[in-house]
Structure 1
Amino acid sequence: MDKPTVWIKPGIVSIFGTSFDAASHSHQAIQLVWPSLESLCTVNGNEIAQPIIINSKIPHQLKMTQGWILLIEPKSDLGESLIHMLNKQDYMPFNFPFISRCDPEDVPNSLNTVLAPLFSYLNLPIPFLFKNNSTVIDKRIKQIIRQLDKCLEGDCIKPKTWRAAKVASQLCLSESRFLHLFSQELGVSWRPYLLWRRMMCAVQAILNNTSATHAAHSAGFSDSAHLSRTFKNTFGMTIRQALTLFKR
Structure 2
Amino acid sequence: MTELAALWIVRHGESTGNVAAQRARSSGAEEVARTERDADVPLSPAGEEQAHATGRWLRTLPPDRRPEVAVTSPYLRARRTAELALAGTGVPLSRDERLRDRDLGIFDRLTPHGVRVRHPEEHERRNRLGKFYYRPPGGEAWTDVALRLRGFLADLRHEHTDRRVMLFGHDVLVFLLSYLLDGLTEEELMALGRRHVIANCSISSWSADHSGHLRMNGFNEVSHLHPTRSGPAGGDQTHYGI
So what's the TM-score if we normalise by structure 1?
A: 0.26
The structure with the largest strand share of the pair is 1
So what's the TM-score if we normalise by structure 2?
A: 0.27
